[in-house]
Amino acid sequence: MPRPVWTGAISFGLVTIPIRVMTATEDHSIRFHQYHLDDMGRVRSRKVCELEDREVTQDEIGKGYEIAPGQVVAVSDEELRELPLPTAKAIEIVAFVPYESIDPIQIGEGYYLEAGGQAATKPYVLLRKALERNAKAAIAKFAWHGRERLGLLRVKESVIALHALKWPDEVRSPEELAPAQVDITGAEVEEALLLIDSMTRDEPLEEAEWASDRYTAALEEVIHAKADGKQLPAAEPEEPASGRVLDLMAALEQSVQQAKSSRGTGGTSQATIHEMPKKKAAAKKTTASKKTPSAKKTAKEPAKKSTPAKRTRRSA
C-alpha cells in the first residue's frame, strides 16, 4: 500500500469527511542514471550556495520568492500549510457540472481517496453513493504543492477517485493547428467508419493483448543482453518508402481487411492498394457530393469477392 501523499478532508456543503490521498497510478518506466563513461563512476548533481560557494545540506534549503533583484522573501512549509484558504486543508466540492463539459485534455494525474478513520466511513460511503447516482461530475478545489487546483471527483469501483484538472486558461487553443479544408467523399467517410467498426474491441483495457508497453519490454531485453554479454536483439528491417502517393480510399479498404484478418473475422490482407476495379473509381467520383447506397455497396465489394483466409489471432 502506498503512503498517503496528502491528508485532509472533503468538504461537501456542511459535511466534512476526513480522507487520506493515495496515488492511483504507478510508473513502470526504466530510468537511467548518469555515469562517467571512462570509469563508470556515478555522476551526481550537487546543491551549492552561490554566495558561499559550498555544498549545502537539505536541512539548510528552503523556499523563497524573488520579488526584486537581490530581494528574496523566504516562505516556510508551515506558512504554506497555514494559508488563509479553505482549500489548503480540504478538498472543497464547489459545483456539479455535466460530464461532457469537461475537456479530457484538462484531466491530469489521478488519486484514490481513503476514508480517514472509522468516523469518516459513513459520510464517505454516503458521498460515494450520491456520486454513483448522480449523472453529473463533481468539481472540487484543493491546494497542494504551493498552488490551488481544480479537481474532478468520481467513483471507481467502491472508492472515490480524484483527478487533477488544468485551469481553463492553462489549455492552449488548437485553432492555429487545424489543417486546411479538403474535400472528403461520402464513400471515404463510410470506409473510415467501417475501419473503426473492424478495430473496435469489447474486452476491458487491462485484459487486451495490445495494451502492453512494448518499449519497456524491448529496453529490458537490451539491458539483460548487455549484462549477460549476449548479442543485442536486432530490430526488424523497415520497408523502404515507395515514394508514391497512395490512394486514400484503397488504403482504407486494405486497412479494413487487415483489421478483420487480425480478429479472425474473415477477409484477407492479400489485397493490393494499386489494383482497384475501374467501376469503383467511377463510383467514387459520383459520390463526391452525397452518400448513396450504391457507393456504400461499392466500398464493400473487395470483401465480398475475396476468399476468406484462416489467420492466426494477433493483436491489432
* Pair 27, 216: CB distance under 8 Å: no
One-letter amino acid at 153 equals L
- Residue span of the structural domain in which 146 resides: 6-26+81-169
Q: Does residue 109 sit in the same domain as residue 192?
A: no
| Residues 93 and 163 grouped into a single domain | yes
Task: Please say if the pLDDT value at position 161 is more than 90.
Answer: yes
Percent above pLDDT 90 for the chain: 35
User: Do 107 and 187 sit in the same domain of this protein?
Assistant: no
Vertex 313, ends 312 and 316: CA angle to 5°?
Answer: 125
Residue 261 lies in a domain: yes
Residues 93 and 162 in one domain: yes
| Judgement on whether residues 161 and 289 belong to the same structural domain of the protein | no
Flag whether 33 is in a domain.
no
Q: What is the pTM of this model?
A: 0.62
Residue 157 maps to a domain: yes
Domain boundary among 169, 191, 225: 169
Looking at the structure, tell me whether residues 273 and 147 fall in a common domain: no
152 and 11 within one domain:
yes
The pLDDT tens digits for 104-123 are 999 999 999 999 989 999 99
| Residues 188 and 148 reside in one and the same domain | no
Residues 145 and 260 in one domain: no
Q: Would 305 be classed as within a structural domain?
A: yes
Task: Clarify whether residues 111 and 191 are in a common domain.
Answer: no
Q: Tell me: do 301 and 191 sit in the same domain.
A: yes
**Cα Rg, the chain, nearest whole Å:** 29
Using the structure block, give the residue that is written with the C-alpha cell 458521498.
127
Residue 204 in any domain: the answer is no
The confidence band for 265, taking pLDDT boundaries of 50, 70 and 90, is low
CA distance 62 to 72: 12
276: in domain: yes
Q: Which residue has the cell 486494405?
A: 254
Alpha helices in the chain (DSSP H): 77-81, 121-133, 186-199, 214-227, 248-263, 278-286, 293-299, 301-305
Q: Where are the beta strands (DSSP E) in 76-211?
A: 90-98, 107-115, 136-144, 147-156, 159-165
Indicate whether 210 pLDDT > 80: no
Asked if residue 205 is part of any domain, the answer here is no
Higher confidence at residue 211 or residue 303? 211
Task: For 213-244, write each residue's pLDDT tens digit.
Answer: 788 888 888 888 888 888 888 877 766 655 55
- The predicted structure's pLDDT at residue 205: 76
58 falls within a domain: no
The reported pLDDT for the residue numbered 290 is 42
pLDDT band at 82 (very low <50, low <70, confident <90, very high): confident
Do residues 131 and 263 both lie within one domain?
Answer: no
Structural domain total, the chain: 2
Task: Show Cβ contacts of residue 300 under 8 Å, excluding neighbours closer than 6 positions.
Answer: 194
137 closest CA partner among 176, 99, 100, 103 = 99
